[in-house]
């Protein structure tokens, strides 16, 4: 007997059919491998931020840990796309595994004291892990070029899951289970093994091996073509400069500097359509998270908490939930106009900053909603940016473009790290001066 139209059974059947159609053609091994790549590449970054207070103590600004966790990643993403194509992916994975494992072991095995020598050693370990994370992100994003839309969707979903899983794992290990910080970090130091297994065991190697890895390089752009591209408006830059770079015969390989020049031209064409909206959304959301959120406090009597220190980690968990949902949404929802959610994120920063100053939002539950919305916007811009590149950038330029654009999120976090430290001090001082000293009680 067929289900009646409009009945719950009918609706469920329609949903199942749509879901099956959405994922038709997806290779489970590819999806699993890229989800694990996204999870493991980002989870150590989250664990380090979650452990910031335990690592450096109360006297060192937590923004310093954020900067140590993101600056090496930023410079890796800024510079590596111009030469990393010469390094095979298998060798890259081994290097990333070594860097992240050594970094976490250095952090874990350094004595649990807060003197300058111990803090310096821990910061070096954090920077090694950051180098691995930055190189991993640009490489795995470039690798999706060979494995299609599902690889990008599951990579993004894995990075979204890393936020909740990383923060939750650290809390469970150190609080619920009762492990020491050192033991917990030693256990987490072996997580990169999963990335190694995902690449060499789970991931089908056929698409990568048969692609030729674009070893032939790109043809240098002549002076006339360069001048012509410079004269184009920003909305036509992509079509002119990208298409003026053509695959060539391996015999006619480029010189090193000509290759860099061609890649710089490619990066210029990527800036306005892709890099800038991603940069803006990360500046706004991480300024909220690091600088504004610590001051979004309410009287305990009107909140679900018993102490003021509970506000900040709750905001972080709600934000990560929004990120995870939106980064996993690309098979169902696509945003083509990237500046719209970026500007909405800037509006979130403006509204929450005004509330921190003038205390006009009546309930913490409204702030919970805004923070969740913030996570949704940040995640959707991230996945939509790389999906747009996959759809719109010519195939011969796509691998480079995916990796090079990843610099925007780390660049935005770096800028927000400095802004956040200034915002937190300014907003807290303003609140105390106007009779709200909650930020001093955390």
Q: What is the pLDDT of residues 260-319, one digit of tens each?
A: 677 778 888 999 999 999 999 999 999 999 889 989 999 999 999 888 877 887 888 889
316/183 same-domain check = no
Pick from 180, 204, 228: which residue ends a domain? Answer: 204
Q: Same domain, yes or no, for 176 and 82?
A: yes
The whole-number pLDDT of residue 309 equals 74
| pLDDT value of residue 278 | 97
Q: Are the beta carbons of 153 and 383 closer than 8 angstroms?
A: yes
**What is the pLDDT at residue 20?**
56
Of 204, 230, 248, the residue that ends a domain is 204
How many Cβ atoms are within 10 Å of 268's Cβ, its own excluded? 16
pLDDT at position 317: 84
Helices (H), 213-275: 223-230, 237-243, 256-270
Give residue 283's pLDDT: 96
Confidence (pLDDT) at 17 = 59
Claim to verify: residue 327 and residue 442 sit in the same structural domain: yes
| Residue 304 CB neighbours (<10 A) | 12
* 275 and 359 share one domain: yes
Q: What pLDDT sits at residue 370?
A: 98
Q: CB neighbours of 63 closer than 8 A, spacing ≥ 6?
A: 290, 417, 418, 420, 421
In this predicted structure, what is the pLDDT of residue 239?
Answer: 40
C-alpha 85/C-alpha 301 separation (Å) is 57
Say whether both 68 and 147 belong to one domain: yes
- Indicate if 168 and 271 belong to the same structural domain: no
Question: Do 159 and 42 share a structural domain?
Answer: yes
Phi and psi (nearest 5°) for 219? -75, 140
Same domain, 92 and 181: yes
Q: Residue 258: name the closest of 218, 300, 199, 286 by CA.
A: 218
> 300 and 189, same structural domain?
no
Looking at 204, 235, 251, the residue that finishes a domain is 204
| Helix axis angle, 223-230 to 256-270, nearest 10° | 20
Which regions in the chain score pLDDT beneath 50? 15, 19, 212-253
266 lies in the same domain as 187? no
Q: What is the pLDDT, as a whole number, of residue 59?
A: 67
Q: Which residues contact 100 (CB under 8 A, 6 or more apart)?
A: 44, 128, 129, 132, 133, 136, 192
**Pick from 422, 393, 26, 34: nearest CA to 199:** 34
Q: What is the pTM of this model?
A: 0.79
For residue 152, the model assigns a pLDDT of 93
pLDDT at 241: 39
Is 254 inside a domain boundary? no
**pLDDT value at residue 196:** 95
> Which residue range(s) make up the domain with 51?
26-204
CA angle 136–141–147, rounded 5-degree value: 120
- Residues with Cβ within 8 Å of 313's Cβ and at least 6 positions away in sequence, in order, are 167
Give residue 24's pLDDT: 65
DSSP string, 116-143: HHHHHHHHHHHHHHHHHHHHHHHHHHHH
Count: domains in the chain? 2
């Amino acid at each position: 007997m067929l289900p009646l139209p409009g009945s719950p059974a009918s609706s469920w059947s329609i949903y199942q059919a749509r879901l099956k159609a959405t994922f038709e053609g997806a290779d489970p091994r590819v999806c699993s491998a890229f989800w694990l790549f996204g999870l493991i590449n980002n989870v150590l970054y989250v664990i380090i931020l979650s452990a910031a207070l335990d690592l450096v103590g109360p006297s060192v600004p937590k923004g310093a840990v954020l900067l140590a966790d993101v600056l090496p990643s930023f410079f890796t993403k800024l510079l590596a796309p111009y030469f990393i194509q010469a390094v095979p992916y298998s060798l890259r994975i081994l290097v990333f595994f070594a860097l992240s494992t050594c970094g976490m072991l250095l952090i874990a095995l350094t004595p649990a004291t807060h003197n300058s020598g111990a803090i310096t050693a821990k910061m070096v370990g954090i920077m090694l892990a950051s180098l691995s994370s930055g190189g991993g992100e640009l490489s795995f994003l470039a690798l999706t070029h060979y494995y299609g839309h599902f690889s990008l969707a599951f990579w993004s979903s894995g990075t979204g899951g890393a936020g909740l899983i990383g923060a939750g794992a650290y809390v469970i290990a150190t609080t619920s289970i009762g492990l020491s910080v050192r033991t917990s970090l030693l256990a987490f130091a072996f997580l990169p093994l999963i990335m190694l297994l995902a690449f060499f065991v789970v991931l089908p190697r056929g698409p990568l091996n048969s692609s030729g890895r674009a070893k032939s390089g790109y043809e240098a752009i002549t002076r006339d073509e360069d001048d012509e591209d410079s004269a184009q408006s920003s909305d036509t830059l992509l079509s002119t400069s990208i298409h003026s770079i053509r695959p060539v015969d391996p015999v006619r390989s480029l010189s090193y500097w000509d290759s860099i020049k061609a890649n710089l031209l490619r990066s210029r064409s990527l800036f306005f359509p892709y890099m800038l909206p991603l940069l803006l959304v990360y500046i706004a959301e991480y300024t909220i998270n690091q600088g504004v959120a610590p001051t979004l406090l309410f009287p305990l009597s009107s909140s679900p908490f018993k102490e003021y220190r509970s506000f900040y980690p709750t905001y972080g968990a709600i934000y990560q939930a929004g990120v995870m949902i939106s980064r996993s949404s690309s098979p169902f929802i696509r945003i083509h106009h990237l500046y719209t959610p970026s500007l909405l994120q800037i509006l979130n920063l403006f509204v929450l900053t005004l509330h921190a100053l003038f205390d006009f939002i009546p309930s913490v539950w409204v702030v919970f909603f805004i923070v969740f919305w913030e996570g949704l916007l940040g995640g959707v811009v991230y996945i939509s940016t790389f999906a747009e590149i996959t759809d719109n950038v010519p195939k011969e330029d796509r691998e480079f473009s995916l990796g090079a654009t990843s610099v925007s999120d780390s660049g935005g976090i770096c800028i927000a790290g400095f802004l956040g430290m200034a915002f937190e001090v300014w907003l807290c001082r303003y609140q105390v001066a106007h009779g709200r000293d909650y930020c001093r009680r955390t």
